[in-house]
Structure 1
Amino acid sequence: MAEPHDTAHEHSKTTAHMCDPDEIIPRDLRFDIMGNAQKHWLDDDIIKTILIDGLSIFLPEGERFFIRSLKHYGPKLADKELAAEINGYAVQEAFHTREHEEYNRAMKKLGYDVDAMEKPIRMGFEIVTNPLHRLSLTCAIEHMTATLSTLTLRHPDLLDNAAPAYRRLWMWHALEELEHKAVALDVLNAATPNMSRWQRYLVRVLGMNGTLFPFLALFLRNVPIYARNDGVKTGFRFWMRFFWITMVAPGYWRRCLPNVLRYYLPGFDPRNSDDAELMRKGRDWLAKDMPPPRAANAAV
């Protein structure tokens, strides 16, 4: 991606500093992953790369699911500010869907069997038809993506050796996930006024149980499919190194685990004390590394 003109830098710097930390800002940015498709784009390491590429396999179907889940409740909410946040959320997620569809097409271009990896994910989302069930799953998945996004923005050095187009996409995605991370849970609270606090807690926890374990099972199922394309055998040594990278050093999943488990606390609130600072850092980074975003449509 070409470097933006100096005036674009100044415009986007000003925009970044003027933004309300609670504002949801849809940014119509394109990253041309197809034109920059690369295997092992993080540290020239298949395991580090699959830990991130594997997330993109879930995202197009997942983001369409999230939009449907929240849009169902938008017209029913008395809180018009929250209804407006749903719209901003939906526009952000629509742009994410577009970019990750291209990302997955780029993986196909590189020879990965994306269809085989996506099929059970698509089927899993399709069987969930109850609106409240969809909403509870959306709350849980949004917490998981927000946890990964917080890790990315707190420790951008984890992507220091990433190919530039991929690093830009994931930093942008992390920022926007953090901006809208509380919307789904706010909708759940607003959409269930007749539930007791403990009934709502049960709905939320069952949603996480119905998300976390299937996600891990499907993710681990897809690892050998991905590795097979590169002629890599997923034997004992592979899985021991996979465990080391996820749980020891750099320990991506280990670092995420405490925040994921916070979701099970009865008084859980998705907002953290350092969210505003992380979003400021993310917006400053975006102002320096990306051209100013095009104006987004008001609705999806």
Structure 2
Amino acid sequence: MSNKEGARTPQPVEDERVALKARKVSFSWEDTPLHWVPGDPFATHTINVLHLLLPAGERWFVHVYKQVLPYIRDERLREDVIGFIGQEAMHSQAHDEVLPHLREQGLDPTPYTAQIDWFFEKLLGDRTLPPGRARRWWLLERVALIAAIEHYTAFLGDWVLNAGELDRRGADPTMLDLLRWHGAEEVEHRSVAFDLFTHVDGGYRRRVRTWAVAFAALLFLWQRGARFFMENDPTLVDGRASFTAFYVRGRRGTLPATGALLRSIPRYLSRTYHPSQEASTAQAVAYLASSPAALAAESATRTAGTDTGAAEGHGQGKGVA
């Protein structure tokens, strides 16, 4: 059934909306250690799973959203979706660039990334379906899946922006900047996927069903990725991943708290849920304005523009001479 059939509908917080744009970033990984959370391989590798999941997952987001663009009848939402596509493409590229650094440190993620690629490109990819109802059904299913996944990317973004314990434990500043730049943009665009789902469908049963699929898939893939990293870390003799280790680090503040993760479930399943009711756009935008990687890329762009202008001016001067 559609959410329009219920007595209550999701209510966005209007002043949480901002115009979305893709930001260039520049990271240098030479000085980032393998265990970038000092003395804690498990916290390091649990978060490192992002570098495996996100490139393929966000390429898939972009692919699906390009297909749904023709169904968007609201110009403002269309602008948001286009901005979302630009940001997700940049996220995929930034996390992809971490993988060669991991290989250089003796941890080759290729066996796991091949499985992730299969999951998004084959299992959740385009299917040979007849035009009409069946093809539209599969498109709407994937739009709803993305809305559910984005609930958790925004949850993680809000967590990492406020994870002061990582700073206190001396976590690598470049990795923290990548995670917080990405997390801030996830918070910034946290309403787009849900708004798009509501616009093209909004059925509550579909929202619940696809949440269950997304949650189970993320849980399975994340624990599998953490286990892969721990078992293949060349510095560990008997590396293991466990729920207990996750729970303990959640209590310490170096990973999301289990309780907070569980409490996010009924919020998403509430009929009155809207992503703008969670996290803070102001905090996200403030971080994005101060991100070292974003500032470095902006400075490089300005320098390149100045050099180009000077070269053009020099060439014009020679022509006059």
Shorter chain as normaliser: what TM range? 0.7 to 0.9
State whether structure 2 residue 55 is matched by structure 1 residue 60: yes
2:229 — aligned with what?
226
How far does the alpha carbon of each residue in 1:200-227 deviate from its partner, in whole angstroms, 9 at most, with x for none? 1111121111111122112212223211
Aligned match of 1:29 in 6, 25, 29? 25
Corresponding residue of 1:41: 36
Question: Which residue of structure 2 lines up, in the alignment, with residue 138 of structure 1?
Answer: 146
Contact 1:63–1:94 (Cα < 8 Å) also in 2: yes
Aligned to 1:244: 248
The structural deviation recorded for 1:274 is: 5.1
Q: Which residue of 2 aligns with 1:83?
A: 78
How far is the alpha carbon of 1:125 from its aligned partner? 1.3
- Displacement after TM superposition at 1:158 (Å): 3.1
Please name the residue that 2:131 is paired with. Answer: none
Identity over aligned pairs, percent: 25
* Paired residues of 2:24 and 2:294 also in contact (CA < 8 A): no
What residue is the counterpart of 2:176 in the other structure? Answer: 167
What is the CA–CA distance in structure 1 between the aligned matches of 2:19 and 2:164, rounded to whole Å? 22
Note the alpha carbon deviations across 1:51-76, whole angstroms, 9 max, x for none: 21012210000000111122211122
Alignment partner of 1:179 is 2:183? no
In 2, Cα distance between the equivalents of 1:132 and 1:288? 36
Structure 1, 155-164 or 171-180: larger mean CA deviation: 155-164
Query: What does the per-residue CA deviation read over 1:241-266, in whole Å, with 9 as the maximum and x for residues that have no partner?
Result: 343113x3225142333224411112
Task: Tell me by how many angstroms 1:287 deviates.
Answer: 7.2
Separation of aligned partners in 1, 2:204 and 2:59:
25
Q: 1:268 to 1:163 in 2, by over 3 A?
A: same
Measured in 2, the distance between the counterparts of 1:95 and 1:131 equals 23
Shift of 1:25: 2.6
CA separation in 1, counterparts of 2:98 and 2:240?
Answer: 28
Cα distance in 2 between the residues matched to 1:260 and 1:108: 36
CA 1:258–1:278 in 2, change beyond 3 Å: closer, same or farther? farther
Q: Which structure would you say has the larger Rg?
A: 2
**Residue-by-residue CA offset, 1:133-183 (whole Å, 9 max, x unaligned):** 211111111110100101122334434421121111111101111111111
Amino acid at match of 1:27: R
What is the deviation of 1:95? Answer: 1.0
1:103 and 2:103 are equivalent in the alignment: no
SS state at 1:113 partner: coil
- The alpha-carbon distance between structure 1 residues 280 and 29, as it changes in their structure 2 partners (threshold 3 A), is closer
Q: CA 1:177 to 1:239, structure 2 compared with 1: closer, same or farther past 3 Å?
A: closer
- 2:129 corresponds to which residue? none
Q: 1:205 aligned to 2:200?
A: no
Distance change (3 Å), C-alpha of 1:235 and 1:64: closer
2:275 counterpart SS class: coil
**Higher RCO (CA 8 Å, separation ≥ 6 residues):** 1
* Structure 1 residue 109 displacement after superposition: 2.0
Letter in 2 for 1:146: A
TM-score, normalised via structure 1 length: 0.80
The alignment's TM-score, normalised by the length of structure 2, stands at: 0.75
CA distance in 1, matches of 2:43, 2:79: 37
Q: Secondary structure at the match of 1:141?
A: helix
- The whole-number CA distance in structure 1 between the counterparts of 2:217 and 2:274 is 24
Distance 1:268 1:21, change over 3 A: closer
Query: Who is 1:9 aligned against?
Result: none
Gaps of 5+ in 1: 1-19, 296-300
Q: Structure 2 matches for 1:148-163, cutoff 5 A? A: 148-160=156-168, 161-163=170-172
Q: Any idea what SS the aligned residue of 2:97 has?
A: helix
> Equivalent residue for 1:14?
none
Q: Distance in 1 between matches of 2:228 and 2:88?
A: 27
Q: 1:21 offset after TM fit, Å?
A: 5.6
Q: Which residue of 2 aligns with 1:119?
A: 114
- What is the one-letter code of the residue matched to 1:99? A
Q: Is the 8 A contact 2:36 2:171 kept in 1?
A: yes
